Each structure stands twice: as C-alpha cells, then as structure tokens.
Structure 1
C-alpha cells in the first residue's frame, strides 16, 4: 500500500517539490529558532507555523499566497494569546476553543485565504494546549512565529518559488447544495457540535490530552463536504493513527528524545506529510502521528500509555465528526457528488473549446490552465465518490456504477490532455471537422448535466472514424465516446443530476 502511494503519478513532480521545499523551509525555521536561543516549546511553535504556512496557503497566484502568508499572524497570534490567557479557566477555554473551531470552518466560504487563516487560528489554539502555554511565554512564542514565517516565506517566495514557472491550481470552492444554509455554514455548525462532543468525552479520557479529540474532529472536517466523505475521512484518520502508533513503539520510544535521530525522523515525517497528503489521508496521518510521537519524546513525556491515549482520543474525535454530519444539517453524498461531476464535465467542455480555439489560430486560447483545473476537480470527484467505492460498501451495484464513472472521467481527462498537447504544437492546423466535434462535445456535456429530474439523457451523436493523420480529431472522437458511455451510469445512479436530495 505504501509503495502504491510513493509511485502514484506526480505530474510535474509537484508533490516531490512540495514535500522537499517543506523540509527545507521548516528545517530553516526551526534552525533559526535554535540559533537565537529559543526554548524547545518556542521552536515547536515556530516549526508548526512554518508547516501551516507551507501546507495550507493555496491561493492561485504567488502574490495571493504572499498576502495570505502575511495575514497569518493577524489570525493566529491573538488566538494564541487568548488560549494562554485562559490556561487556568477551563470553562472559558473550552467555549473559546469551540468558537475558534466554528469560525475557522465558517471562514472557508472566503476561499483558499479564508481556509488558510481558519486553519492557522485553530492550530494556534491547539498548540497552546499541546505545549501548556501561559502568558509569560507569549513574547518568545510571538518572536518564534514571526521568525519562522519569515524563514518559510524566504524559501517559498525566494529560494524555491516553483509556482512562478509551474502554476498550481487552487483548490476549488465547495459546491453549493440546495437548501437554506450554505455548505460552509452547515459545516461550521457541525464542526462546533462535533467538537463539543469530542471535547467532553475527550476530557473524560484525559484531563491533560483531551485536545487531541478536538483536533481529530477538526481535521476530519478539512476538505470534506458530505457525510459520506466525512465517514471515510474519520475511518482513515483512525487507521493512520493506529499504524503511526505502532511505529511509535518501534521508533519514538527507543529514541527517547535523542536530538539528532529525533530531528531526522521529524524531517522524514514532514516530507511524508506533504508528499502523501494529495493521495492518501491514512498515510498522511501516519506521518503526523509519528512526528507527534517524536515531539512528545523531545519534550520528555512519551510513554506507551500516552500513545494508546492518542488512539483513543483520535477515535473519540472521529466519532464526534461522524455523529455531527449524520445528525446535524446533513449534506448527502449524492448531492455533493453530482455537483462535483457537473463541474468536472463543464471543465471538460471548456478545455475542449480552448484547444479548438488554439488550433483555429487564436494566440490567446490556452487549454493548459483548464487541464490543471480538471485534474483538481477530478480529485474532488474521487474524494466524493470514495464512500461508494470503499471496500466496505456492501452496495455492489452502486459501487460498480461509481467505479465506471471514475474510469470514464479519467478517460475524458486523458483525451483532453492529449488534445491540449496537440494544440500546443505550432505546426498543428485547424480542420473544419474540429468545430463539429467540439459542438458535439458541448451537446453531450449539456445532456449529462441536465437538471431536469427523472430525465434519462440521450446519447451524443456517434463518433465517426478518425483519420490517423489528425490526432486532434482522434482525441475528440475518443472523448465523445467516453461522454456517451457516461450516460448510462449517471442516469441510473442516485448521484445523477436528477438526485439533489
């Protein structure tokens, strides 16, 4: 399973660049904190700030990323001060933690910037609980955060700004589902109530480590929309934590906080978190758990009982998230999946239109950004369909249809990528048949995304034989066939355009 994660496709080596830059940026941040004489607690806080800046800031432009990074202290430092001030006031601390959690989820309605600021604020409160921060430590922690964000920014925007040469599409905003409340509002309510459940039960398990349960609830909600996605994410979080705990027994406990080996393992953990985040949530959580175990070892509080408590708190947090999405303002998997599929299909059409314009001689048309957007949207479709294709799903017919949809959408993406490559060739010429084929693709997409309830889409016009001499037409006709074959699984599946329950 791990081998499959590390050999997964990595177009443009984005994941490798992402992970390698993170190790350098976070390593530099922690090294600078040590150089100026900061305590271990301050170095950990600074390292976390650098990690979050490199991991969560995903604006579509480099300038936007720089602005969001600059705004992180404004969101996080007041929250850190609040958490420290409430260190000896448990009731106020708990209510404030839940308020920060709800506000952090609600902030996602403002796109990647709102998401990054919300995560940073929440994690500053979490870090204060992890390190038992008190007001007297705030000046040092503030300095560590500022120094670390500066180090991370130097690496990201100066030493290694690969986005300038290789643009990375921003994560798409959650789709809007029918109802009185927006998805982000529903999720804010769900996360707050799920967090309250996790906080209460977590404190029953431990007066000192309860915050792991709240953290687990929070991270289960990140990048999920429907109840099905949340169920799968909760399962994968617990699975990754358990595997990480087993490794903790083998690695973290024997090292017992030894400085150099701990630093090496933490660096490996950082690389693993960033490299696997896009392809496997379970393995990302494995690396998070191993890294957390190493940090506990460095703080001198690691033992077997603490590791098992970590598993129990994670399970409680996942349970809180699951109960919240099942009971409180639920968003169905079918409605969310339908919305993502429609967006992916419209993107297929946009890619095709841009490629056709480019082949027709338009110097302004460029399908490459649309192709990158399509890859991101397909990732969201896979995440949304994950509950239906999960091995534990007993509904075989739905599982088969979901797998068929994924396979055909992958076929569409492959043909669109091929078409974009042909269009990028300056020697490629326009053919009148391209216009007709693009019109048929547009008609097919309109049929597949039809909002009329109960309507079974008609198949697009049959594709003609493609001359081998014209690769663009070959890609378009194969794209038509894939769209035509999508009619059946989409019209018979509960997540088809007619299912908006």
Structure 2
C-alpha cells in the first residue's frame, strides 16, 4: 500500500501540485478568517469550505471550474440555513438531510458541475451537524464560507492556475439511460435508502455523533457506479478509518489541541488528502480521519472514547451502503464494466481512424485529442473492473479474465499512443497497407462491441517495418486476443457479475 502511494506515477507532478496548492488555499482561507475576527468555529468552517472548493470542482476547463466555484455558495448557504433552522427539530432535520443526500447524488446526472454542487450541499449540512450550528451563528458561518471560497479561488485561478497551461481533459459521461435505467437515478435511491439506515442505526449508537454514519454512507457512494465498486470502497473506507484512528491515538490524542503541532499536522493531513486521492482511497481516508481527530482536539472534545465511537459509526455507514447496493435497485459490476469497455474500444478505433487520416495528409484530423479521451476512459475501466481483481474476490476465474482484459486494453492503448506519435511526425508518409489495417481494426472493434467476437480476425503474421503499420498490427493482435476474455455466450457477463 505504501508503494502504491509513493511510487505511483505522477505525470507532470500533477498530484504534487494539486496537493501543494490545496495546502496554500486552505491555509490562506483560515488566515483570512482569523484576521477577519471570526471565532474558532468560523475558522474551521472556512477551512473546510476552502478544502471542498479545491477538492470537488473538476470541470474540464478553467472557465467551467470558475463558474462551478462561484455557484458553490449559492447551493451551500441555503442548505446551511436549513440545517441551522432545523437544529432543534430532529425529525424535520433528519428528513431534510435525507433529501439533501438524494438530491446531491441525483445531481451527478448533470456532469462534473452537478457532482460538485451535490457534494458541497451535502457537506454543508454535515458540517452544520459537526459544529452544532444554530441560527444565531449563521452570519458568522455565511461570512466564513464566502471569505474562504474567495480565498481558495484567489489561489486556484490567480496565484497558481496551472490548469491554464494544460489542454482540457475530457470527462467521460456516465453510461446513458432513462428513468430507473439511469445509473445516477438508481444511485440516488440507493444512497437515500443507505443513509436512512445509517441515520436510524447511527442515532441508536450515539445521539450526538450519528451524522458520522450518514457521512460514511455518502462518501462510499461518491465516484462509484456499481455494487462491486461501492462494496470495495466501503471496505477501504473502514480500513482507512481503522488505521487513522490507530494513528490518532498515537498522534492526535497526545497533542490534544495544542495550536502549533495541531496546525502542522493539519497541513500534513490536507496535503495527504489531495496527494493520495487519485491513487488510494484507503490512504485518503486515513488522512481525513486524522484531520477530523485534530479538529476535535482543537474544539476540546477529543478522547479515546470518541475515536471508538467514530469507528462504530463508520461501520454502520458502510453497512448501510452495502445493504443499499445489494438490495435496492442493484447495478451489477458487469453492466457498468461492459459499457465502459465498449466505449474504450470505440475510442481506440476513433484514434486509429484519425491517425490514419493524419498520415494521409488531413490537417483536420486530431488523434492527440482522442488519445487523451482514451486515457480517461481506460481509467474508468480500471475503476469499474477494480472489484473483480480485488484480492478479496473469491472468483478466481473471473479475476483472471478481468486481469487479462485490463492487460490487453493496456496493450491497445500503448500501440494507439505509438501510432498517434508516428502520425504527429511531419516526415511520416502514408502506406497503402494502412487503410486495410485500419479497416481490420474497425471490423474487430465492431465485432467485440457487437457481441460477435468469434469473427475477430487475427493480425497478419508478416512483420511490418514501417512504424505506423507495426503499431496497427500490434493493435490488431491485442484486439484479436481480447476476443477470448470478452467473447462469452450470449447474455452472460463479459468480465464479471
């Protein structure tokens, strides 16, 4: 696990910049809140608002990110007001919390912006429970949110806007559908049901910290699409929480809110959340758990009993999520995996066609744009197939097939990247055999995505000396080999259930 985090590739040091900028943005927000005369509760609220503004906004363009960031207070402040107004009305408060959960998940159908606003709305209600916000504190909390979002924006779009130098990264849309066939709709129902279970059982465990269980259920559903992904994420959340609590006993409890060491450790936690998010959910949760413990230390309520209660509430939340994805409108791993694999294969063909057009002299063809989209889709395939290759998956046959699919899709991506690189060379010339090879690639993709894998033809045996043709032959071989793990009897899963 350590190796996965610290040895994982970081092209362009993107994760490092992401984490370093987050530390700067959150620190600036807290400092500005303090200079504005806000209380400790206001500073904590501001720091969390800045963290969310920097973490959740993932639009493809800088302009889109700026618009979404500007909309965060428009969503968060009314939710904060509702949470404060309902503080002394438990039944109405609980119903409102579940409504925010359902709406927040449903908003994902509108893409990255809907996802960001949904997360911010949920976390605003959650933070109101965390800080026991009441109406008399609303002016200060409003000021903290506004000042902190502005501070985070000043860092993200002014002081350190590294995205402006990068091409927009396409964000793959979720698999299509209507009504209950739409994944985001089913997940909204699942999340609301799971959160309802967590809310009721969490209150039986603790009348003060029940919202931890609801928070655990919510975050387990974030960035998942199938029951397999959700179950694995739940396991990793519990594991990260256990490790974080153990570390908290050694670090946070002895510090017990002392200003300087707590501030240093909070910086480390913020950096850890952002640096590990893309490669290890377990490590991210470790950082989140330790950060929460340090905040409770600042508020003067941290003790070993509170840590044990957090673990219990996290377990309740994970159980709620597991029951929801298993029994409430379940979305199978196969359904999601199949959709992403088909989209990745079609993108392979699109890359190939545009590269061939570029080699033929077309100036309008842009295979580089397609290769970026392919990388995004392959990342989504890996996430979807993750439950099938997880060490705890007992189905060895499906695990081996899933690993084979991932390896061959990786080969497809490598050969496609090589072809695109050759096409970018102005000295490269078009070979008449490229058209035939591209046609065979198209036919193979159509057969694989159409369920007719028996008709995928093998690549030519004769070696190719021309670079573009060699990459195309390598791509053909990978597609032909994919026919075995993907080619199953009609109606049965491609790589799992």
Give the alignment's TM-score, normalised by structure 1. Answer: 0.95
Alignment map for 1:173-322 (pairs within 5 Å): 173-176=173-176, 180-322=180-322
Residues 1:155 and 2:155 are matched in the alignment: yes
Residues 1:473 and 2:469 are matched in the alignment: yes
Instruction: Return the alpha-carbon distance in structure 2 between the equivalents of residues 499 and 405 of structure 1.
Output: 8
Aligned to 1:491: 487
Aligned to 2:64: 64
495 and 53 in structure 1: CA distance in 2 versus 1, 3 angstrom threshold: farther
Residues 1:462 and 2:459 are matched in the alignment: yes
Offset, 1:219: 0.5
Q: Secondary structure at the match of 1:411?
A: helix
Aligned to 1:17: 17
Instruction: Return the alpha-carbon distance in structure 1 between the equivalents of residues 79 and 227 of structure 2.
Output: 29
Offset, 1:376: 1.9
Offset, 1:495: 9.2
Q: Secondary structure at the match of 1:279?
A: coil
Greater Cα offset, 138-147 or 350-359? 350-359
Offset, 1:499: 9.0
496 and 32 in structure 1: CA distance in 2 versus 1, 3 angstrom threshold: farther
Offset, 1:169: 2.0
Offset, 1:493: 8.4
Aligned to 2:135: 135
Instruction: Return the alpha-carbon distance in structure 1 between the equivalents of residues 91 and 414 of structure 2.
Output: 55
Aligned to 1:431: 431
Aligned to 1:327: 327
351 and 12 in structure 1: CA distance in 2 versus 1, 3 angstrom threshold: farther
CA contact (8 A) 1:178 1:500 kept: no
Aligned to 2:78: 78
Instruction: Return the alpha-carbon distance in structure 2 between the equivalents of residues 496 and 481 of structure 1.
Output: 24
CA contact (8 A) 2:486 2:494 kept: no
CA contact (8 A) 1:490 1:496 kept: no
Per-residue deviation, residues 250-299 of structure 1 (Å, max 9, x unmatched): 11111111212212211111111111111111111111111111111111
Per-residue deviation, residues 374-422 of structure 1 (Å, max 9, x unmatched): 2221122112112211111111111100110011111111222222222
CA contact (8 A) 1:58 1:170 kept: no
Greater Cα offset, 300-309 or 152-161? 152-161
Q: Secondary structure at the match of 2:459?
A: coil
CA contact (8 A) 2:29 2:50 kept: yes
Aligned to 1:346: 346
CA contact (8 A) 1:335 1:495 kept: no
Q: Secondary structure at the match of 2:181?
A: coil
Offset, 1:170: 4.4
CA RMSD of aligned residues (A): 1.9
Instruction: Return the alpha-carbon distance in structure 1 between the equivalents of residues 491 and 243 of structure 2.
Output: 33
Greater Cα offset, 218-227 or 10-19? 10-19
Alignment map for 1:389-404 (pairs within 5 Å): 389-404=389-404
Q: Secondary structure at the match of 1:492?
A: coil
CA contact (8 A) 1:269 1:290 kept: yes
CA contact (8 A) 2:269 2:288 kept: yes
Instruction: Return the alpha-carbon distance in structure 2 between the equivalents of residues 499 and 3 of structure 1.
Output: 28
Per-residue deviation, residues 416-437 of structure 1 (Å, max 9, x unmatched): 2222222222332322222222
Instruction: Return the alpha-carbon distance in structure 2 between the equivalents of residues 460 and 18 of structure 1.
Output: 45
CA contact (8 A) 2:485 2:494 kept: no
Instruction: Give the total of aligned pairs.
Output: 497
499 and 290 in structure 1: CA distance in 2 versus 1, 3 angstrom threshold: closer
CA contact (8 A) 1:338 1:495 kept: no
Aligned to 1:482: 478
Instruction: Return the alpha-carbon distance in structure 1 between the equivalents of residues 178 and 37 of structure 2.
Output: 54
Give the alignment's TM-score, normalised by structure 2. Answer: 0.96
Instruction: Return the alpha-carbon distance in structure 1 between the equivalents of residues 342 and 10 of structure 2.
Output: 25
Offset, 1:498: 6.9
400 and 178 in structure 1: CA distance in 2 versus 1, 3 angstrom threshold: farther
CA contact (8 A) 2:46 2:148 kept: yes
Q: Secondary structure at the match of 1:87?
A: coil
CA contact (8 A) 1:401 1:493 kept: no
Offset, 1:82: 0.5
CA contact (8 A) 1:416 1:479 kept: yes
Instruction: Return the alpha-carbon distance in structure 2 between the equivalents of residues 214 and 25 of structure 1.
Output: 28
Greater Cα offset, 73-82 or 33-42? 33-42
Instruction: Return the alpha-carbon distance in structure 2 between the equivalents of residues 121 and 9 of structure 1.
Output: 33
CA contact (8 A) 2:334 2:493 kept: no
